[in-house]
């Protein structure tokens, strides 16, 4: 079936805008979220999906109320389409004559909440030096990052993955320590002399990936080891939304220290024990090591790898992980 899917997708009558819409639907698992990502209405997204299914002659999703499930044919279309779409998109990259005349597009995927003034300065300097390179940044859950890299729909990624499998190289980008915090509306806010024992029955605000086997699972392990029995009452894949719910008092939450301390300085949160924090979850720079990058991508990878070495204090050696472990 994969051969017939590929043939259907390269048909010269296929509307690539419909295909792009489906890729966002499949990634978001939701018509409404896809509409928000694409900045169009939900009816327009649904209409595009129906037209694509008609053109391909296949049912790509099954609807169950507001929820959609990607069919087997839909998964096959997504897999082949992402590969083809990434290759076709890169063909639009025009290469200039000199190093600083390089043009084209770089696609960077990143987990939510990567905050660093130095990183902001790096991006500013890169744009100054290469004004004709366009940067497309997409926020993505760590679990989805490897497929984006291997299917060549992303140039590089900033992710919490350490063991990603496949032909993906990685380098430490930003060391990151997580600690526990509560918001100003939480009953623990302002109390002194707290210990871990005082947290045992408190409810949690959690990241969507905070489950065993996921990138943030060390936070689940910490809760289990310490006997923290409270329920997870609010979750999000977005750093900003987790911060919002902690501040609102839904529960205590584990956040990168630099994110939480900024809220502490603003009087919106309080740091909780243990004083040493709970886990190291470093941000990693990832890229596919099994393909030759385009000129714009090569320039970006060279610059961001050098910046990562400076930011993390490491030598910047890439590590290829072929373990296949999550």
**Can 99-175+282-321 and 177-280 be said to share one CATH topology?**
yes
Residues 6+ away with beta carbon under 8 Å from 206? 219, 232, 234, 235, 242, 253, 254
Tokens of 62: 């099954």
Region of 289 (left: φ > 0; alpha: ψ -120 to 50; beta: rest) is alpha
Q: Which fold has domain 99-175+282-321?
A: D-Maltodextrin-Binding Protein; domain 2 (3.40.190)
The structure tokens listed for 283 are: 């941000």
HSE (CB half, 13 Å, CA atoms) of 83?
13
The Cβ-side half-sphere exposure at 145, using a 13 Å CA radius, reads: 36
Would you say 85 and 93 are in contact if contact means Cβ atoms under 8 Å apart?
A: no
What residues does each domain of the chain span? 2-90, 99-175+282-321, 177-280
d(CA 289, CA 298): 12
- CATH number belonging to the domain at 177-280, selected among 3.40.50.170, 3.30.300.30, 1.10.10.10, 3.40.190.290: 3.40.190.290
Cβ atoms 161, 284 nearer than 8 A: yes
Q: For Cα atoms 159, 162, 166, give the angle at the middle one, nearest 5 degrees.
A: 95
List strands edge to edge, sheet with 133-139. 133-139, 104-110, 156-159, 283-288, 168-174, 319-321
Residues 115-150, buried b or exposed e (16+ Cβ, 10 A)? eeeebeebeeebeeebeebeeeebebbbbebbbbbb
Digit-coded pLDDT (tens) for 195-219: 999 999 999 998 876 554 455 666 7
State the Cα–Cα distance between residues 239 and 109, nearest whole angstrom.
15
Indicate the SS3 state at residue 178: strand
Residues 269-296: pLDDT tens digits? 999 999 999 888 888 999 988 778 889 9
Tokens of 193: 């002399």
Cβ pair 173, 303 in contact under 8 A: no
At 273 the three-state DSSP class reads: coil
Quote the CA–CA distance of 201 and 259 in Å, as a whole number. 24
Smallest CA-to-CA distance from 102 within 292, 300, 302, 303 is with 300
15 Cβ contact list (under 8 Å, min separation 6): 51, 52, 55
CATH of 2-90, one of 3.30.200.20, 2.40.30.170, 1.10.10.10, 1.20.120.1200: 1.10.10.10
Cis ω for the linkage preceding 274 (within 30 of 0)? yes
Other CB atoms within 10 A of residue 55 CB: 16
Burial class (CB in 10 A: 0-12, 13-18, 19+), 184: middle
Digit-by-digit pLDDT tens for the chain (326 residues) are: 545 555 555 555 667 778 888 888 888 888 888 887 777 778 888 888 888 888 888 899 988 766 788 898 888 888 877 776 666 555 544 433 335 568 889 999 998 878 888 899 999 999 999 999 999 999 887 778 888 888 888 999 998 866 666 688 989 998 888 999 999 999 999 999 999 999 999 999 988 765 544 556 667 778 888 888 889 899 988 889 999 999 999 999 999 998 999 999 999 999 999 999 988 888 899 998 877 888 999 999 999 999 988 876 643 344 443 333 32
Give one DSSP letter per residue of 131-176, joined into a string: TTEEEEEEE--GGGHHHHHHTTS-SEEEES-S---SSEEEEEEE--
The answer to whether 173 and 283 are in contact (CB under 8 A) is yes
Helix ranges, 29-63 (H) = 31-38, 42-56
């Amino acid at each position: 079936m994969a051969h017939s899917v590929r043939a259907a997708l390269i048909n010269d009558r296929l509307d690539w805008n419909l295909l792009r819409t489906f890729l966002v639907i499949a990634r978001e698992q939701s018509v409404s979220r896809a509409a928000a990502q694409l900045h169009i209405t939900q009816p327009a997204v649904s209409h595009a999906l129906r037209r694509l299914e008609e053109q391909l002659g296949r049912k790509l999703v099954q609807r169950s109320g507001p929820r959609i499930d990607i069919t087997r044919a839909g998964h096959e279309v997504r897999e082949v389409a992402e590969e083809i779409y990434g290759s076709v998109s890169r063909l639009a990259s025009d290469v200039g004559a000199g190093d600083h005349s390089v043009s084209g597009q770089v696609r960077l995927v990143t987990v939510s909440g990567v905050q660093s003034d130095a990183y902001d300065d790096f991006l500013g300097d890169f744009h100054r030096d290469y004004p004709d390179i366009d940067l497309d940044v997409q926020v993505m859950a760590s679990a989805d990052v490897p497929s984006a890299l291997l299917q060549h729909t992303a140039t590089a990624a900033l992710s919490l993955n350490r063991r990603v499998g496949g032909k993906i190289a990685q380098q430490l980008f930003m060391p990151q320590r997580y600690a526990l915090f509560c918001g100003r509306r939480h009953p623990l806010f302002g109390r002194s002399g707290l210990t871990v024992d005082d947290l045992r029955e408190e409810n949690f605000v959690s990241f969507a990936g905070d489950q065993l086997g996921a990138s943030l699972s060390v936070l689940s392990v910490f809760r289990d080891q310490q006997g923290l029995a409270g329920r997870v009452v609010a979750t999000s894949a977005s750093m900003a939304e987790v911060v919002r719910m902690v501040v609102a008092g839904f529960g205590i939450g584990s956040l990168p220290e630099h994110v939480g301390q900024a809220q502490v300085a603003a009087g919106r949160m309080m740091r909780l024990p243990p004083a040493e924090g709970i886990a190291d979850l470093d941000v990693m720079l990832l890229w596919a090591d099994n393909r030759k990058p385009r000129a714009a991508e090569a320039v970006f990878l060279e610059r961001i790898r050098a910046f990562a070495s400076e930011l993390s204090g490491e030598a910047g050696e890439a590590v290829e992980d072929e373990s296949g472990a999550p």
